[in-house]
Amino acid sequence: MNPLAGHPVIELAGVTKAYPGGVTALRSVDLVVGHGELLAIVGPSGSGKSTMLNLIGTLDRPSQGTVRIDGHDVAALSDRQLSALRARHIGFVFQQFHLAPGSDALGNVADGLLYTGAGKRERKRRAEAALVRAGLGDRLTHRPHQLSGGERQRVAVARAVAGDPLLLLADEPTGNLDSASGAGVMGLLHELHKAGTTVLVITHDRDIADSLPRQVSMRDGRVV
């Protein structure tokens, strides 16, 4: 990881997102996230959190305003360039684990590195290192059905960070977990943050948000 100190990881300026039918999901949102931050975007269902995630993750483009990720203006990039930006700089963790049932933990993480162009041996090496980092060194050959919910989410986190992304976006990462497993996953995110990754957690859970150094509260498409 070699972040450039001259600009933020995330910069939203006057960002609005409107959909056909008159639905405005975000309204004139400003947000700056620096390198190495750990923060939560918190709010109830319908507050605009998921839309914010999609824009920060370059999965969607704003209707108005500017989104910059690691200094890159999303509006100025082609779809192909956006895909490359996502592949190089952003890791995603979702509430649903999205693991391939027929593949073991090592295979699931290694397959997430296909876009890097690394050879098979290098992908496996990186995948194993990420799984060990996630506390799953003894679960490399286990398939998803042989893992607990907390372990499956740890595999998903390992897959997201195996490529050493600048930014990790975690969308309700504990939503499908019991409290003990959820605490374990949050502990892992804290460890990744300490190692230098910028971590942004999307959550409706105020307790989770309050456990992080910074909270960005949303309601009705605005930062409040």
Q: Which band of pLDDT confidence, cut at 50, 70 and 90, is reported for residue 4? A: very low
How far, in Å, CA of 222 to CA of 31, rounded? 11
CATH number, domain at 74?
A: 3.40.50.300
98: left (phi over 0), alpha (psi -120 to 50) or beta: left
At 16, phi and psi to the nearest 5?
Answer: -125, 140
- Residue 2, in any domain of the structure: no
Q: How much is the average pLDDT of 103-130?
A: 92
180-188: long-range contacts, CB 8 A cutoff, minimum separation 24: 180/150, 181/148, 181/149, 181/150, 181/153, 182/150, 182/208, 184/135, 184/150, 184/154, 185/150, 185/153, 185/154, 185/157, 186/211, 188/134, 188/135, 188/154, 188/157
Percent pLDDT > 90 in the chain is: 86
- Total number of domains constituting the chain: 1
Gyration radius (Cα) of the chain, Å: 17
- Residue 3, in any domain of the structure: no
Residue 50 lies in domain? 10-223
- Residue 4, in any domain of the structure: no
What's the confidence (pLDDT) of residue 2?
42
Q: Which band of pLDDT confidence, cut at 50, 70 and 90, is reported for residue 220? A: very high
- Residue 113, in any domain of the structure: yes
- Residue 29, in any domain of the structure: yes
What's the confidence (pLDDT) of residue 115?
79
- Residue 5, in any domain of the structure: no
Say which residue the tokens 């923060």 belong to.
39
Amino acid in position 31: L
**Average pLDDT value for the chain:** 93
- Residue 1, in any domain of the structure: no
Query: What count of Cα atoms within 13 Å lies in the side-chain half-sphere of residue 35?
Result: 14
> How does pLDDT run across 17-50, given as a tens digit for each residue?
999 998 999 999 999 999 999 999 999 999 999 9
Model confidence at 212: pLDDT above 80: yes
